[in-house]
Amino acid sequence: MNQAKRKLILERLAATIPNPATELHYATPFELLVAVILSAQSTDKGVNKATAKLFPVANTPAAILALGEEGLKEYIKTIGFYNSKARHILALSRILLDKHGGRVPETREELEALPGVGRKTASVILNTAFGQSVIAVDRHIFRVANRTGLAPGRNVLEVERGLEKYVPDAFKKDVHHLLILHGRYTCIARKPRCGSCVIADLCEYPHKSGLA
């Protein structure tokens, strides 16, 4: 795919997705960190439902620690893998208090040193909480980048490198959410909605479905 086409794809997506933002509800970097950890292999909707009750009671590392493991689990037990997620959230809360003055750090290295925080979660926090032009690649982005030809890759790291290389600077901050939302609602996994896709004429996927 050439750069002119890439730019056109991103311009079209930006025009149809005027507010490219996470669908997780949060008000602070710590709330976002907790929500992103809870969202692994779970829906944003399910996470929002749980955090709507949790955050008014505990939305700081100290308050989470005060809840304790059993207390925290009561709020998140509807979410998959809540046992290990609760342990990670408690352990990272302790580290945030002990090493970072209760604040979420703003570097990848410090973020990835926290329990339960891998490359993708760190990238989401850097991008969404701190406004850095970091591109986190999740399953939606992996699929869309490969299908369209925007940045093909055999694994998430290859796609991430491709997006970093090919996405024009003007779109680097928003491309993460543009591609997630496009993948979540239009370029869905099983049967992409190519008939209503605004980039159908530019996309290089050979198996488009639903076109007239």
Q: Which residues have a catalytic role annotated?
A: 120, 138
Q: Cβ 203 to ligand SF4, closest distance in Å?
A: 3
Report CA-CA distances (Å) from 76 to 28, 53, 86. Answer: 19, 9, 8
Binding marks (x or -) toward ligand SF4, 98..137, rule CB under 6 A? ----------------------------------------
Joined tokens for residue 190:
């099983």
> Which CB atom, from 50 or from 187, has the smaller least distance to ligand SF4?
187
Amino acid identity of 160? E
- First and final CA of the chain: distance in angstroms? 24
Residue 208 is a binding residue for ligand SF4 (CB under 6 A): yes
> Which CB atom, from 165 or from 191, has the smaller least distance to ligand SF4?
191
Other CB atoms within a 10 A radius of the CB of residue 71 amount to 16
DSSP 3-state assignment of 78?
coil
Between CA 85 and CA 71 the distance in angstroms is: 13
Return the range that interacts with ligand SF4 (CB under 6 A); candidates 26-34, 59-67, 103-111, 192-200: 192-200
Joined tokens for residue 78:
């509807």
CB 92 within 8 A of CB 117: yes
Binders in 139-178 for ligand SF4, by CB under 6 A: 147-148
Q: Cβ 13 to ligand SF4, closest distance in Å?
A: 9
Other CB atoms within a 10 A radius of the CB of residue 83 amount to 11
Return the range that interacts with ligand SF4 (CB under 6 A); candidates 132-140, 155-163, 170-178, 184-192: 184-192
Return the range that interacts with ligand SF4 (CB under 6 A); candidates 19-27, 66-74, 159-167, 195-203: 195-203
Q: Which residues, 6+ apart, have CB-to-CB distance to 135 below 8 Å?
A: 123, 127, 141, 160, 163, 164, 167, 172, 175, 176
- Alpha helices, H only, the chain: 3-16, 29-39, 44-54, 61-76, 82-100, 108-112, 119-124, 139-148, 156-166, 175-185
Q: Cβ 175 to ligand SF4, closest distance in Å?
A: 14
Residue 186 is a binding residue for ligand SF4 (CB under 6 A): yes
Q: Which residue in the set 24, 145, 179, 194 belongs to the binding site for ligand SF4 (CB under 6 A)?
A: 194
DSSP 3-state assignment of 116?
coil
Residue 187 is a binding residue for ligand SF4 (CB under 6 A): yes
> Which CB atom, from 39 or from 186, has the smaller least distance to ligand SF4?
186
Q: Which residues bind ligand SF4 (CB under 6 A)?
A: 147-148, 186-187, 192-194, 197, 199-200, 203, 205, 208
